[in-house]
Amino acid sequence: MIDLESRARKFAGKGLAELTDAEVCRLLEGLVRERAAQMPTNPGKRRLYYLSAEFLIGRLLATNLINLGLYGEVRDQLAAAGHDINRVEECEVEPSLGNGGLGRLAACFLDSMATLGLPGDGVGLNYHFGLFHQRFVDGQQTALPDEWLAEQAWLAEEPTSFTVPFADFSVTSRLYTVDVLGYGRGTRNRLRLFDLVGVDDSLVPADSIDFDKDALRRNLTLFLYPDDSDEAGRLLRVYQQYFMVSNAAQLIVAEALERGSDLHDLADYAVVQINDTHPTMVIPELIRLLVDEHGLGFGEAVGIVSSMVAFTNHTILAEALEKWPLAYIERVSPRIAEVIEKLDELVRAEHPEPQVQIIQDGVVHMAHLAIHYGFSVNGVAELHTQILEQTELRPFFDLYPQKFSNKTNGITFRRWIMACNPALTALLDHTLGTDWHRTGDLTGLLAHRDDEEVLQGLAAAKDDAKARMRDFLWHSQGVRVPEDAIIDVQVKRFHEYKRQQMLALYLVWKWMDIKNGNIPPRPITVVFGGKAAPAYTIAQDVIHLVLTLSKWIAADPDVAPYLQVVMVENYNVSAAERLIPAADISEQISLASKEASGTSNMKFMLNGAVTLCTLDGANVEIADLVGEGNIYTFGTSSAEVERLYREGAYDPAAYYRRPGIKLLVDFLVNPRFAAMGNPERLRRLHDDMAGHDYFMALLDLEEFIQAKERVYADFEDRQAWLRKSLVNVAQAGEFSSDRTIAQYDRDIWHLR
Ligand SMILES: *Cc1c(COP(=O)(O)O)cnc(C)c1O
């Protein structure tokens, strides 16, 4: 039992009812910290260190209360004192430590490791201004520093501090910890974030993310992914990565020593999962520490490190498979460059094939380093792993077939339904009991396919989520969404391969169709959200197209009552928690073969949305689970897309010339439309689509339009639609990150 009333008096000298929502938020944060402080960390000789450049953890109050088993009690006591717990939750500032799916995956994994009682901590950096805060000005994205640190409650400063030696100078670090509480477990893990002593926030102006990239002693932990369009930015990224992995490696060695390791047996004490290529330099850094600081032989050190580092590949996009000039690494740390050169020589001696070398033409291929000197390589969905094995990493798979495995991504149910969708959670609890919180098993719902009460319960839960979403959009950006609208959502980073531009072209088509008198039976609201990398011009142009379309349609009285385009500003975890439960339709329309897995597809499914998708990433697995009739698939297959690339056989101009497509693409340069936006941006996007279209939006456009019309028509058969929705929820258990983490532990980590 907790007594919030007496806590309020102690905390602020007034009754609970007298506190502001923000004060209640502080009070509850204190309560959680107090509980966490009493919890031991998960025990185990071998500890997992999950190294990641990003942790997109989201707000923590609600999920921490859920995981402590206190949420219901707190909600009821607050309600009795006149406080709405949702309003209190909104007072928490969302930490800005991540970018997109990769960082969110890391956060879901932390929750699942703690829930399964596995000794595993996250290790990363404490970015003072995060990625950036997105604001729309004149229909365009502007990037502002995200000042999340000023008001956060979860970071605790630790005594731990290391010296990181760069070529010409050294810096000192400081460790901060965020407790990670398992669901109903009584133990905790930690997210461990290193910061730079002497980091200087004043390098960053209030209204932009430009700063002095050369001030390395003061800037290393200011931003996640600083702009790398110039050399100073690229060098800064290497400095930042080395700062991250040197701290991680020193932490790993120090903790192993403390727990009795003689370092010859380090692999019995630690296993390192590197989340994409950013932390790859932990391999040479661990070797450096073992050899230079602890006197082990080079060969032995290589053997030890190779048996304790595992690598997750997240993408097949060339831009994300990092390659750094050896000269950059030499400037940052000559010793690390030297270790990498030795590792490269060892590979050359055994494997002469040019395509598997670590250093090629003076450039270090980070993924190659991770694959040769790690013991495990995994992809993140079945299709993705298959593409890695058969195509992208084929020469490595031929060398080391036993290292490769698939670990399909997952999401934590504590956040992605229990915290964000109370009405659906209550329905599931009522119908199935609460075992699914832990097992993820929702298949019992299938027996209720024809249960009118459950189907109506699903409809009511969706209405409840829609009301919460309308409230959110109204309060956050003054947008009114009609009560009976279909909610059709594409939220994710803006990238050409995700093909937001294809959905935008559909909207042009739909606007024309309505203009021609084909009035939809109910209003349609299409919601976009997502950030674009500041140096990624075409993605910025697509954001601009969406914003301009939104304005254009809203200004047309013939169409506005039936079609609405909403672009959510500063899409983040908190926004996702409001939007995803409300969605009827989940847009997962990437060019097949390009989306490694996706995880928002899983969140939508769990919340009862029906997926409209290409057979890409984990969509393939979703389609297998729900079966035909409960998902809408369209588009060119992954194998055919791969063939088109291989043979250079895709000709966008041929598609552009088709009359139905030309009309839509040319709308971007229609003088009246262009006058509503930035003609230069729209012209550039038009020309790119018509003549380049690297991610083949025009290839699948006609099929996409047909599929969308089918989905909207089917939505009107309410009973049949609710049944589809039910099947999606019922089959989502496969995508619990508890399942994913159990597999990592069983196949890779062996923590217990
Ligand atoms: C889940 C999530 C993502 C990943 O979305 P994808 O559609 O899988 O790319 C990105 N951002 C946020 C805020 C998320 O919650």
Cα–Cα distance list, 711 to 512, 610, 672, 705, 725 (Å): 19, 9, 31, 10, 13
Residue 602 in contact with ligand 1 by CB distance below 6 A: no
Residue nearest atom 8 in ligand 1 by C-alpha distance? 598
Neighbours of 624 (CB within 10 A): 12
Residues 613 and 589 sit within 8 Å (Cβ to Cβ) = yes
Ligand 1 centroid from CA 233, angstroms: 26
Residue 578 in contact with ligand 1 by CB distance below 6 A: no
Residue 106 in contact with ligand 1 by CB distance below 6 A: no
Model confidence at 151, in pLDDT bands (50, 70, 90)? Answer: confident
Neighbours of 33 (CB within 10 A): 14
Phi, psi (deg, nearest 5) at residue 363? -115, 135
Residue 580 in contact with ligand 1 by CB distance below 6 A: no
pLDDT surpassing 80 at residue 565: yes
Residue 150's pLDDT is 87
What the chain holds in terms of domains, given with CATH numbers, is 21-374 (3.40.50.2000), 484-717 (3.40.50.2000)
pLDDT surpassing 90 at residue 166: yes
Q: Looking at the CA of residue 588, tell me the nearest atom of ligand 1.
A: 7
Q: Looking at the CA of residue 491, tell me the nearest atom of ligand 1.
A: 7
Tokens of 126: 């404490």
Task: Tell how strand 323-325 and strand 610-613 pair up.
Answer: unpaired
Mean local confidence (pLDDT), 213-219: 96
Model confidence at 318, in pLDDT bands (50, 70, 90)? Answer: confident
* Distance, CA of 715 to CA of 731 (rounded, Å): 20
Residue 725 in contact with ligand 1 by CB distance below 6 A: no
Query: pLDDT tens, 535-553?
Result: 999 999 999 999 999 999 9
User: Which of 55, 491, 574, 612 for mutating ligand 1's site (highest number of atoms within 8 Å of CB)?
Assistant: 491
CA 357 to chain centre: 31
CA atoms within 13 A on the CB side of 438: 12
Residues 2 and 75 sit within 8 Å (Cβ to Cβ) = no
**Percent of the chain's residues with pLDDT above 70:** 100
Model confidence at 138, in pLDDT bands (50, 70, 90)? Answer: very high
Model confidence at 33, in pLDDT bands (50, 70, 90)? Answer: very high
Residue nearest atom 11 in ligand 1 by C-alpha distance? 100
Tokens of 721: 């639609």
Ligand 1 centroid from CA 600, angstroms: 5
Residue 598 in contact with ligand 1 by CB distance below 6 A: yes
* Distance, CA of 543 to CA of 116 (rounded, Å): 40
603 is catalytic: yes
493 is catalytic: yes
Residue 285 backbone class (left: φ over 0; alpha: ψ -120 to 50; beta: rest): alpha
Ligand 1 centroid from CA 602, angstroms: 10
* Distance, CA of 531 to CA of 520 (rounded, Å): 30
Tokens of 445: 């719902």
Residue nearest atom 2 in ligand 1 by C-alpha distance? 101
407 is catalytic: no
Residue nearest atom 3 in ligand 1 by C-alpha distance? 101
Instruction: Spell out the residues 6+ positions from residue 518 whose beta carbon is closer than 8 angstroms to its own.
Output: none
CA 348 to chain centre: 36
Instruction: Spell out the residues 6+ positions from residue 478 whose beta carbon is closer than 8 angstroms to its own.
Output: none
Residue 97 in contact with ligand 1 by CB distance below 6 A: no
Query: pLDDT tens, 380-430?
Result: 999 999 999 999 999 999 999 999 999 999 999 999 999 999 999 999 999
Phi, psi (deg, nearest 5) at residue 175? -95, 135
* Distance, CA of 726 to CA of 533 (rounded, Å): 37
Residue 421 backbone class (left: φ over 0; alpha: ψ -120 to 50; beta: rest): beta
**Percent of the chain's residues with pLDDT above 90:** 98
Ligand 1 centroid from CA 12, angstroms: 38
- Where b means 16+ CB within 10 Å and e means fewer, 138-150 reads ebbbebbbbbbbe
pTM of the complete model:
0.98
The residues with which 586 forms a beta bridge, in sequence order, are: 489, 611
Ligand 1 centroid from CA 575, angstroms: 11
Active-site residue, from 498, 499, 531, 686: 498
* Distance, CA of 712 to CA of 715 (rounded, Å): 5
Active-site residue, from 46, 218, 314, 448: 314
Tokens of 471: 């409230």
* Distance, CA of 286 to CA of 144 (rounded, Å): 36
599 is catalytic: yes
